[in-house]
A and B are shown apart, each in its own frame.
Chain A
Amino acid sequence: MNSISDRACIVGIGHTEYSKDSGRSELKLACEAISAAMRDAGLGPGDVDGIAKYTMDNNDPIEIARCLGLPSLRFFGEVAYGGGGGPVGTVMLAAMAVATGQAKAVIAFRAMNERSGRGTPRFGQAMVADTAAGPMSYLAPYGLFSPAQMVALAARRHMHLYGTESRHFGAIAVACRHHANLNPDAMMHGRPMTIDDHQSSRMISDPLRLLDCCLETDGGAAVIVTTPERARDLRQKPVFMAAGGLGGGGWNNRFMVRDIDAPDNEATVAGRRLFADAGISHDDIDVLFLYDHFTPMVLMQLEEYGFCARGEAKDFIGDGSRFLWPHGDLPLNTSGGNLSEGYLHGMQNIIEAVRQLRGTARTQVQDARYAFVTAGNAVPTSAMILRGEA
């Protein structure tokens, strides 16, 4: 065996509410989400012995283990690059730990008070330091600070090279909002959005508009990963890791300034082996979970993970109706995504992918067997294919 394929599965999911102000600590958010995931799986403290965290998560694994009463923590590790390495990467790390027998069941989680700023700095805000060192010294003195501004450079370049238009970005935002309106847990539930709303939203960093940008959220989300053998005795239908990969490349590692003219990038590296490892083709994917920090980055993922050729995402997307549940052929981010459900750095997309493959989603895709799940691009990233039981 030379890959992670089918050697680990997700058996528990849990999350808090997604809000603008949780009113409690990031540690409490983490414990609530993890505890819910353990109950969902039917696992007690003695059954869970590993924690995989996002490097940027403020919570300390041993503090979580102490609070939850985990008697022995046999594995702990973390994955860098925020929403890029984090969401899929922590699940990958957990999968590798259980597949190698280093742990029995491993938690992957994200918990933060990012919107209220009570613990984690806001994503949309710049670092307000009056000096810039390291790679940032070649960006910030010119007025380039935020992720939105950095990805706007690549979005403009894509529009120039391929004729992509703002409305193609907008179609992605509209699809996510459509699904959020079918999900009472979503922060943007009850707030419909049309393509005209998108096109008239204010510019943040031209060509990026406000409605091209994800939410900022307080909340916690967690999954539990174990082996297929152990999963047989547990409460839920297991969701298998059919393939997974991480990706980065020094050539484009300038914070979030992407080189989209290069043949390879973090997404092509992460995606290179996925379909071969899973033994399926793109046509076998039933539901898409593309990390949606910024809509142009979602569009580029369609090309870079091979759902269409470079430059053809605008035609692949069209008016975006193919992304809409229930009639679209490729529903996208069916609980609303980072753009409209809540921004738990992609972990909430993984939870929804598990629901789809268990057959328990609100926006259930009929007979969903395979989900394609990514983490954020424009930073080193990660991606996986999840498979439900037939």
Chain B
Amino acid sequence: MSTFPRPVPEYGSEPFWAGCNEGVLRFQRCAACQKLRWHPAPICTYCQAEDCAWETIPGTGRIHTWTVITHPVHPGAVGKVPYVVVEIALDAQSDLRMISRLVECEPDEVTMAAPVEVVFEAHPDGQQLPLFRLRR
């Protein structure tokens, strides 16, 4: 069975993906202005400082927006539709948002601003992926 693409850890993103394999969300925090940033970037988006530390952040947030994908455009989506792709506003910082998939719920249960929490699920190739579920 075909799967969704496996993420390739690269220069700059390896600590994030390694964190996922340890069951945590690990993001970059700027050493100068203390802002978290996403996606991983080689320089601070807010102040252009280069020094940063990788830090475990809470795996909680709220649904910023979502789409219910019903038309499988990728071979990996066949048999998975309908599925819910979400943009999560993470609790760790007001402007920190990431894309993920919502699991353990029906599409009609999704509501705007619903609280969610991270749950890790292994890609068939072994890499753990940060997915989210509704906090009930």
Assess A137 versus B71: contact at CB under 8 Å? Given A160-B112, A250-B45: no
B16 closest partner in A (C-beta)? A138
Contacts of A259 in B (CB 8 A): 97
Asked if A129 and B5 sit within 8 Å, CB to CB, the answer is yes
Alpha-carbon distance between A320 and B71 when the two chains are bound, in angstroms: 28
Contact with B along A160-173 (1 / 0, CB 8 A): 10000000000000
Asked if B70 and A205 sit within 8 Å, CB to CB, the answer is yes
Q: How far is the CB of B64 from chain A (nearest CB, A)?
A: 7
- Whether a CB of chain B sits under 8 angstroms from the CB of A149 is yes
Give chain A interface residues in 126-148, CB to chain B under 8 Å.
Answer: 126-146, 148
Asked if A130 and B6 sit within 8 Å, CB to CB, the answer is yes
Asked if A144 and B123 sit within 8 Å, CB to CB, the answer is no
B77 closest partner in A (C-beta)? A143
Asked if B67 and A142 sit within 8 Å, CB to CB, the answer is no
A146 closest partner in B (C-beta)? B73
B132 closest partner in A (C-beta)? A142
B65 closest partner in A (C-beta)? A157
Asked if A142 and B85 sit within 8 Å, CB to CB, the answer is yes
Asked if B13 and A137 sit within 8 Å, CB to CB, the answer is yes
Asked if B71 and A143 sit within 8 Å, CB to CB, the answer is no
Asked if A141 and B98 sit within 8 Å, CB to CB, the answer is no
Asked if A208 and B101 sit within 8 Å, CB to CB, the answer is no
Asked if B65 and A141 sit within 8 Å, CB to CB, the answer is no
Asked if A145 and B73 sit within 8 Å, CB to CB, the answer is yes
Asked if B73 and A135 sit within 8 Å, CB to CB, the answer is no
Give chain A interface residues in 173-213, CB to chain B under 8 Å.
Answer: 202-208
Q: How far is the CB of B55 from chain A (nearest CB, A)?
A: 18
Alpha-carbon distance between A138 and B37 when the two chains are bound, in angstroms: 13
Contact with A along B110-136 (1 / 0, CB 8 A): 001000000000010001010100000
Contacts of A205 in B (CB 8 A): 67-71
- Whether a CB of chain B sits under 8 angstroms from the CB of A125 is yes
- Whether a CB of chain B sits under 8 angstroms from the CB of A153 is yes
Asked if B74 and A141 sit within 8 Å, CB to CB, the answer is no
Asked if B10 and A143 sit within 8 Å, CB to CB, the answer is no
- Whether a CB of chain B sits under 8 angstroms from the CB of A359 is no
Assess A141 versus B129: contact at CB under 8 Å? Given A133-B8, A160-B65, A160-B112: yes
Asked if A204 and B70 sit within 8 Å, CB to CB, the answer is yes
- Whether a CB of chain B sits under 8 angstroms from the CB of A361 is no
Alpha-carbon distance between A360 and B23 when the two chains are bound, in angstroms: 64
Give chain B interface residues in 1-52, CB to chain A under 8 Å.
Answer: 3-8, 10, 13, 39, 45
* Chain A interface main SS type: mixed
Interface centre among B3, B64, B85, B101 (most CB of A within 10 A): B85
Task: Point out the residue from A124, A135, A137, A206 that lies within 8 Å of B70, measured CB to CB.
Answer: A206
Task: Point out the residue from A139, A154, A206 that lies within 8 Å of B68, measured CB to CB.
Answer: A206
Assess A133 versus B10: contact at CB under 8 Å? Given A142-B4, A143-B85: yes
B2 closest partner in A (C-beta)? A130
Q: How far is the CB of A31 from chain B (nearest CB, A)?
A: 32
Assess A156 versus B65: contact at CB under 8 Å? Given A132-B5, A141-B6: yes
Contacts of B131 in A (CB 8 A): 142
Alpha-carbon distance between A200 and B131 when the two chains are bound, in angstroms: 32
Assess A142 versus B69: contact at CB under 8 Å? Given A128-B74, A153-B87: no
Task: Point out the residue from B10, B70, B98 that lies within 8 Å of A134, measured CB to CB.
Answer: B10
- Whether a CB of chain B sits under 8 angstroms from the CB of A152 is yes
Alpha-carbon distance between A49 and B76 when the two chains are bound, in angstroms: 47
Q: List 10 A-B contacts (CB under 8 A).
A: A124-B73, A126-B74, A131-B6, A142-B99, A146-B73, A153-B65, A156-B65, A203-B70, A205-B67, A205-B71
Q: B residues bordering A, Cβ < 8 Å?
A: 3-8, 10, 13, 39, 45, 64-71, 73-77, 80, 83, 85, 87, 97-101, 107, 112, 123, 127, 129, 131
Q: Which 7 A-B pairs have the closest CB atoms?
A: A152-B67, A206-B68, A132-B5, A137-B7, A157-B65, A126-B74, A142-B101
Q: A residues bordering B, Cβ < 8 Å?
A: 124-146, 148-149, 152-154, 156-157, 160, 202-208, 250, 254, 257, 259
| Known interface pairs A144-B69, A203-B70, A204-B70; 19 further A-B residue pairs with C-beta atoms within 8 A, sorted by A's residue number | A125-B73, A130-B5, A136-B5, A137-B7, A138-B7, A138-B39, A138-B98, A141-B129, A142-B99, A142-B100, A143-B77, A143-B85, A143-B101, A149-B69, A149-B73, A153-B65, A153-B66, A156-B65, A203-B71
